[in-house]
Amino acid sequence: MNKFIPFITVLAVIIMSSAGCYTVLQHPAVEEYYTQSDYQVACIDCHSDYHEYPYGYFYGYYPDYWWDTPRWGRYYAYPWWWDHYWFDDVRYYHDDDYDGNLSPRSSSGKKVERRSTLSPPYSHGTTTIQRSTGSVSSGSGSGSSTGKKSGDTGQTKTKEETNEQKEDEKKAVRRGGRSR
């Protein structure tokens, strides 16, 4: 029996995590027409504080040079699933002629902007993680606010509502810009 304790422990932890202990592997379904891509691109529809703490970043130390020299930041802090890959769904949050701050997840269908800063995808507001402290900074934010807290994803939206919020976010991006 002792030989199986490590296996059981590992299995229990994975099960706990997939059930949402803290790490969330799968986004809760909020709208029947939503695809996985929607969950990845329309974060601020439901998460008003997405700009303050975009998922994918970790609470921890972000040295200055991760921001000043983007290759460091990309290597050590930028999740691979924020990149655009050829097999991705080609539905993006903004149009191809969008002239604001492009996120690293490019809408052109090409490989993402490799030397970008650590700005998370579809976050056109201020940079989110405060330098060298790892603490959360409150940005000017550009997205719409649903008044819901992070992780509160139980709200169901119609397509029309969602599109309206996306439009709002585009404008907000132009106003806010990046902090860097």
Partner 1 sequence: MKIYRFFIPVIALIFIAPLSQAQYIEQVEEITAGNFFGYGARQMAMGGAGMMAVDGAALFYNPANLARIPRIEFNLGLSYQKYEDKSTVRTIRREVDYSSTIPQSEIHSPRFSGFVPQAGTSENSKTNTRLNSAILTIPYPTYRGSLVFGLGVVRTANFDRAFKLYHYDLSGAGSIVAVGEEFQSGGLIQWGAGFGLDISPRVSFGGALYLYTGKHEYDWEYSLDSLDYTYSTESLIEDKYLGWNAKMSLAMRLSPVVSLGFGIETPINLNVEEEYFGGVYDYVEYDVKRPFVLSSGAALNLNYFELVADIDYTDWSQMTYGDNPDMEAYNNDIKTYYRDVIRFRLGGEYVIADWGLSLRAGYFNDPLPIKKQFINDNRWGYSLGLGFLIDEVMTVDLAFVHGTYNRNSDFIYAAEYDTNDEILNSHNLIVDEDITYNRLYITTAYRF
Residue closer to partner 1 (CB basis): 70 or 139 = 70
Q: What is the CA radius of gyration of the chain?
A: 18
Torsions phi, psi for 23 (to 5 deg): -65, 130
Tell me how crowded residue 68 is: count the other CB atoms within 10 A of its CB. 12
Contact positions with partner 1 (CB under 8 A) in 7-46: 7, 9-10, 13-14, 16-17, 21-27, 39
Residue closer to partner 1 (CB basis): 133 or 164 = 133
Contact positions with partner 1 (CB under 8 A) in 115-154: 115, 132-135, 151
Contact positions with partner 1 (CB under 8 A) in 59-98: 59-61, 63-65, 68-72, 74-81
In angstroms, the CA 119 to CA 116 distance is: 8
| Residue type (1 letter), 54 | P
Q: Is 4 one of the binding residues for partner 1 (CB under 8 A)?
A: no
Tell me how crowded residue 3 is: count the other CB atoms within 10 A of its CB. 6
Tell me how crowded residue 124 is: count the other CB atoms within 10 A of its CB. 27
Residue numbers at the binding site for partner 1 (CB under 8 A): 6-7, 9-10, 13-14, 16-17, 21-27, 39, 55-56, 58-61, 63-65, 68-72, 74-81, 114-115, 132-135, 151
